[in-house]
Structure 1
């Protein structure tokens, strides 16, 4: 770059001229005139000076700058809560610190030097401690040696004293023998010279006269137990310092984070107290408890914030392993088709299947209505066919959808006398969503009012076009009562199965799906399974959802015990740990340990997800209740005979909830009503609903003592109708207002006793004295109250009809003017229904 003036250079770099002149002066460049030129060398000199000043170049020419940069990031989002659209603003703050590699290396070098110094210090302390212990041991041995020598001297003194005593007694006896001959003075002299008994002087080693040690209590040790006989006192010097060396650097751990874990579990993995985790999350803006579940992303942020390394665990590793085990490698063979019969209520689905099976299935159903899915294995002239009979009632939408999920062909039964109904349309939607071909069975053609062409026209409006109209849907006109057209329907099923080329692996471990499950009082959990591939044998270890177990026994639809079942075969299985959910997959595993591990994992995962949903629902419910107020709730304890009925009832009853009243299912399950169900109903003030089940003796006693409301049902219509009636009774009545009369004020008269009296003409309806009124001026309500007086001439009147003049006195209001209108109305309460 050529030389430019200082003023031009200031414009290029974007700084004031005065500031640039000061920087040139500080850099040692003698330029003071803005119009003076500045050379490239002077620019370089200024640049070097500025770099050194701001830390980008150190004194040695190396890159300097800040050793640590902290970036703070803040994001704001809005959460919409409730139906009225209230918005809650949530602010998330994140902070990350970046450190230079050179600084980190220098810190590591300093830390290593400190580690070496700390290690040397610890080694010196350890050597001093060992020397002190050795000195204490030598002192103890010396004390023990001195005590042994003192004891030896004491024994020798005692022996010597005993010998002297024996010598003295012998001398006394000899003196007594010669006492008679010796003079008295000589005897006295001998007595004076008699040796006296010597006592052993106490030795310096504090031994007693009996050779035992003296007991001494060291200073500061009073109050301890007394020493036993023969014990010695040994003093050992010790240091108060421990041998643990405090880490000189923070411990960074790799924390394995599963898909869901609680705050307490996360704290345990990081070897810290849960309060520390709660404190960190509070700083991050989350109020949590010790047992609150955290998702994987939140836990990762917390671990990084606390300086550890998160390692995400693939929660589906066990499930992926199961998928690998479920892949059977074998020869594909032809399998029977699985046919689902769908349709509206009372269109003859079960009767048609009954004719095919030559048994009376409908006789066992309440009111002739199928209450749960039935799976049947039928051998016909056209081959083996497996049938699933699904209910047609609207409450069983989920069950009907589950039937379309496992089926190969759908037979849609439509009554020729009734036509297409709502559940018929739902069945069409389910089968189309599942991509399953349909065969339309137009039933009840034997009736005089049957109109098959009407059924075709109505179905064509839902994109179901018959083959004879150029479509791809086969139609069969049948009569479940006479059997007309049933053979043609079976031919259509066989033809459709050939087109589909249904094949499955007929060897290896079985895989299937749960069609239905229930709890039998004598047999325990009973599950109806549909085998989809492989062979299910008695004794196999099976896993279904949260439940597992060994196949203790297998039965076909007739109750006959069988040993194995192949593809497309429905069987009843005993031996599971509990009743699985209808629709759960079934898989045979090699050992029970693997099945138990996966079942417990699924159970824990479901529990964590349920807790997380409850926690989210609490916040959502809080905002909803703040906006809408308290909602009346009807608590129910629901028990049914099979899992499918529980699901259908639960779904139907929850749909009855409104903004004012709602149905709350406190508990639901399969099996009879037990003592725990009754106690739960007492605690939650719930109504007990038993669907095809009964209460045991203990439960009946609790229900009677507590005065609970217990209802037994066998048809789902009755359950829905009675619950709907109960909810309707909980609704607040609707108050309606009806205008019954209108009077126009012609003039106003003043009375000393009554105040302002309005002279009126009743122009519409009837004005009654007992009803409330409103005063209108220019069709705007200006006062609302009641009548004080109603007169016809001078007489009091209870009511005045249209076309009649009257005098009206308005209570507590004297501002009535000519031209006003007085409106008389009445309020009525109307009971509301859902």
Structure 2
């Protein structure tokens, strides 16, 4: 943010015609050729001084007439008693002090013009010399006072010692006299009386009563310094020397509230010295800083810093965050020096921690990413390699997040990453290309190169990863592999048979044709790359996906890249940290450790990390916590800085926009972090001039009561992507009439929001839940497999309708009913409160406590 502006903007700001402002600048001695030239701060100050002199406002007699010196007088009176018996007298001791306060010379400000600055500096130097001389004189006087006080203290101690000796001698004499003649009992009393009336020593008497004036029975003592000896013997002058010595010796061991020494009271060598020049401070500023923290470092009021920012064109409150450049400009404007704050010690310690991990590098399995256009058979190809049926359980046959697997083939161990092909999942494909060693580009032989195919090629080339092309669906009648190879030439992907370096395998995920050839090409490419990693030591790697599981808490799917990740390790993962409680492989089996290139699920983190974050295993929990908290604070400040410190020009531009733009608020909840991120970016990208899509809240996991309250207060629509609302959230939604939409395919979400954003009237497809059944028991059947003995808790379950299986309010399977029975009879529907047996087609993992949701898709006419 710059403090310079053009003549045209300055004229608009001060509400003056541009021609008149150019004339005033010319009269002030500054020539400008046009209104688009830049005016600096010095030129603005010079123009301000010229205008003040023109209007006769240069002098300020009111400030010069202000008093520059104040004299304060203080008087303290104390009464002491002298003598005893009939000769007792009362003495009034009066201590007077006189203090003169002089107003210091004014410090030159930045608003003075250059001609006045030299005169001010000269006067400031003279004032500095006078102040130094005054300080030397005051120091000399304080030193002399200290010497006199020390001398008086020594004399008082000497007098007390002599009095103690006299008292001890008198006591010994009285004891001797009592031993010599027991009948003379009056002598000790006479001796004591004599000691009682003994006059004080001459030195002490002179200090106690210097220069007194008689007024009847009272004595007026003047010119008495505020000395320690006066307060020590005040009210004890009627005592004898021995009694005073006894009391002084008894109090000598007790702590006393001594008056501060002159050097510590501010007048000695280490005392406070009045500043004679402006204090220039070095302020350490990081990437962002709040206005309150900056004011504290500058030793200024927060309002003054806010005022300086406002003069620069930045409107910020005291609690808002400003960026580094703005903080540096306002610091220099206020006369101080800004320096770059050093990076966090915790990050430095973490870096040193990672660099310490060294060891022998050994061969590791390759990490292969399957990429390509949607519905070209990526997951089916991987499914055939893994000998499982992953694609059958996916919503609409579309992969919604990254799937990570490692398989043991006859050719060796290979780790596979299956990325989505939809356009909204571009960030996921970029993450897949970032952590991979080899990219297998799947292209359908009957469809050719599509937009997501080209995007996958771009991601692979940007990451510098070799490509192996798998031409799928060659078993179809209309397959044309040669056409695919020719289309790939447009994107600089040249097959080996055309003289290039890209291996091409013709495969069929349905029949298994060419799968072995593809694996041979992958392992051959891995041998050429000579992939190695440190097999021992602390693990480092990348988060592929993350989710919030109701029963297990935050779950992160990570890919180990170096070292070995073991159960019980402390790890920091982005802004989250924790101790590894458990490790699971892709089959759900618990493992004790994971080496390089092996993907695993990690339990035990403090929160859900973001997909794409790096993780590092550290020695102890303290370092992990410090690094995570510091990253969280920096990320929070960076997020707030975009909202703080808006410029005046930006606010005026927003005020000038039309008022016809509508806002659609959304709350997006998804099952995994990658899907939530892709949905949020895809929906906000639909904004146009007529409507703005604003995602006010997003997260991972089921829809909670707080999400429903947020949507109710902001009049937002809740989008649940493969998640459901709990009971408390449904109650809030019903009471406030919140619009809740459930989706399982990203196409439906984007299409429905796009219709609203583009203003196209028509029909929309909604999924209406018609019934929910709760699984009470599971029975095994030789014909249908697992039969869920269920109770219909809501609505009705109908035969022929699609269903979903929910576990902890999260969709784990989507399919259709294979059988619906009431006792032994097949029925078409079962209503609420009735028990039934439900057979789910192609799914045998139903457990007690799961919910089976029956729904139907209906077309609803759109009304605005």
State whether TM-score is above 0.5: yes
Which residue of the other structure, out of 676, 700, 706, is the alignment partner of 2:736? Answer: 706
Q: What's the secondary structure of 1:131's corresponding residue?
A: coil
> Does 2:616 match 1:587?
yes
Between the aligned partners of 1:93 and 1:561, the Cα distance in structure 2 is 67
Match of residue 114 from structure 1:
134
Which residue of the other structure, out of 689, 713, 731, is the alignment partner of 1:683? Answer: 713
> Does 2:349 match 1:349?
no
Q: Within 5 Å, which residues of 2 pair with 1:2-151? A: 75-76=4-5, 93=41, 109-120=129-140, 131=226, 134-142=229-237
- Note the C-alpha offset of 1:425: 1.2
- Note the C-alpha offset of 1:297: 3.4
Between the aligned partners of 1:88 and 1:730, the Cα distance in structure 2 is 45
- Note the C-alpha offset of 1:456: 1.3
Residues 1:567 and 1:79: Cα distance change in structure 2 (over 3 Å):
farther
Match of residue 318 from structure 2:
290
Which residue of the other structure, out of 274, 297, 312, is the alignment partner of 1:248? Answer: 274
Match of residue 364 from structure 2:
335
Residues 1:832 and 1:674: Cα distance change in structure 2 (over 3 Å):
closer
- Note the C-alpha offset of 1:273: 2.2
Match of residue 666 from structure 1:
696
Between the aligned partners of 1:637 and 1:645, the Cα distance in structure 2 is 14
> Does 2:684 match 1:654?
yes
Match of residue 666 from structure 2:
636
Match of residue 395 from structure 1:
424
Which residue of the other structure, out of 544, 548, 567, is the alignment partner of 1:538? Answer: 567
Q: Which stretch has the larger CA shift, 92-101 or 666-675?
A: 92-101
- Note the C-alpha offset of 1:315: 2.7
Which residue of the other structure, out of 412, 430, 443, is the alignment partner of 1:383? Answer: 412
> Does 2:502 match 1:476?
no
Q: Deviations over 1:712-758 (max 9, x none)?
A: 111111111111122234899xxxxxxxxxxxxxxxxxxxxxxxxxx
Q: Within 5 Å, which residues of 2 pair with 1:388-467? A: 388-467=417-496
Q: Which stretch has the larger CA shift, 126-135 or 519-528?
A: 126-135
Q: What's the secondary structure of 1:378's corresponding residue?
A: strand
Q: Which stretch has the larger CA shift, 438-447 or 243-252?
A: 243-252
Between the aligned partners of 2:39 and 2:429, the Cα distance in structure 1 is 45
Structure 1, unpaired ranges of 5+: 1-72, 81-86, 149-236, 733-830
- Note the C-alpha offset of 1:316: 5.6
- Note the C-alpha offset of 1:92: 5.1
Residues 1:625 and 1:405: Cα distance change in structure 2 (over 3 Å):
farther
> Does 2:745 match 1:715?
yes
Match of residue 372 from structure 1:
401
Which residue of the other structure, out of 755, 764, 767, is the alignment partner of 1:725? Answer: 755
Residues 1:280 and 1:439: Cα distance change in structure 2 (over 3 Å):
same
- Note the C-alpha offset of 1:120: 4.5
- Note the C-alpha offset of 1:107: 6.4
Match of residue 598 from structure 2:
569
**Cα RMSD between the aligned structures?**
3.6
Q: Within 5 Å, which residues of 2 pair with 1:218-237? A: none
Structure 2, unpaired ranges of 5+: 10-34, 43-109, 150-222, 244-258, 763-860
Q: Residue 441 of structure 2 contacts residue 453 of structure 2 at CA under 8 Å; is this kept in 1? A: yes
Q: What's the secondary structure of 2:284's corresponding residue?
A: strand
Q: What's the secondary structure of 2:677's corresponding residue?
A: helix
Which residue of the other structure, out of 284, 287, 297, is the alignment partner of 1:269? Answer: 297
Residues 1:832 and 1:540: Cα distance change in structure 2 (over 3 Å):
same
Q: What's the secondary structure of 1:644's corresponding residue?
A: helix
Q: Which stretch has the larger CA shift, 320-329 or 429-438?
A: 320-329
Match of residue 644 from structure 2:
615
- Note the C-alpha offset of 1:627: 3.2
Q: Which stretch has the larger CA shift, 487-496 or 112-121?
A: 112-121
Between the aligned partners of 1:120 and 1:243, the Cα distance in structure 2 is 14
Match of residue 259 from structure 1:
287
Q: Which stretch has the larger CA shift, 421-430 or 118-127?
A: 118-127
Between the aligned partners of 1:653 and 1:729, the Cα distance in structure 2 is 15
Q: Residue 350 of structure 2 contacts residue 623 of structure 2 at CA under 8 Å; is this kept in 1? A: no
Q: Deviations over 1:35-73 (max 9, x none)?
A: xxxxxxxxxxxxxxxxxxxxxxxxxxxxxxxxxxxxxx9
Q: Within 5 Å, which residues of 2 pair with 1:199-214? A: none
- Note the C-alpha offset of 1:396: 0.6
Between the aligned partners of 1:78 and 1:690, the Cα distance in structure 2 is 53
Q: Deviations over 1:482-508 (max 9, x none)?
A: 111000000000000011111111121
Q: Residue 92 of structure 1 contacts residue 285 of structure 1 at CA under 8 Å; is this kept in 2? A: no
Q: Deviations over 1:620-662 (max 9, x none)?
A: 4751451343410110000001000011111111111111111
Residues 1:602 and 1:354: Cα distance change in structure 2 (over 3 Å):
same
- Note the C-alpha offset of 1:458: 1.5
Between the aligned partners of 2:420 and 2:683, the Cα distance in structure 1 is 17
Between the aligned partners of 2:308 and 2:399, the Cα distance in structure 1 is 57
Rg bigger for which structure?
1
Q: Residue 541 of structure 1 contacts residue 588 of structure 1 at CA under 8 Å; is this kept in 2? A: yes
Q: Residue 395 of structure 2 contacts residue 744 of structure 2 at CA under 8 Å; is this kept in 1? A: yes
Q: Residue 321 of structure 2 contacts residue 645 of structure 2 at CA under 8 Å; is this kept in 1? A: no
Q: What's the secondary structure of 2:629's corresponding residue?
A: helix
Match of residue 52 from structure 2:
none
Match of residue 556 from structure 2:
527
Per the normalisation by structure 2, the TM-score is 0.61
Q: What's the secondary structure of 1:635's corresponding residue?
A: strand
Residues 1:691 and 1:92: Cα distance change in structure 2 (over 3 Å):
farther
Residues 1:285 and 1:247: Cα distance change in structure 2 (over 3 Å):
farther
Between the aligned partners of 1:395 and 1:283, the Cα distance in structure 2 is 44
- Note the C-alpha offset of 1:251: 4.8
Q: Residue 661 of structure 1 contacts residue 730 of structure 1 at CA under 8 Å; is this kept in 2? A: no
How many residues end up aligned between the 2 structures? 568
- Note the C-alpha offset of 1:317: 5.3
- Note the C-alpha offset of 1:445: 1.0
Residues 1:300 and 1:122: Cα distance change in structure 2 (over 3 Å):
farther
Which residue of the other structure, out of 343, 346, 351, is the alignment partner of 1:323? Answer: 351
- Note the C-alpha offset of 1:99: 7.6
> Does 2:309 match 1:281?
yes
- Note the C-alpha offset of 1:615: 2.8
Between the aligned partners of 1:103 and 1:321, the Cα distance in structure 2 is 52
Residues 1:88 and 1:568: Cα distance change in structure 2 (over 3 Å):
farther
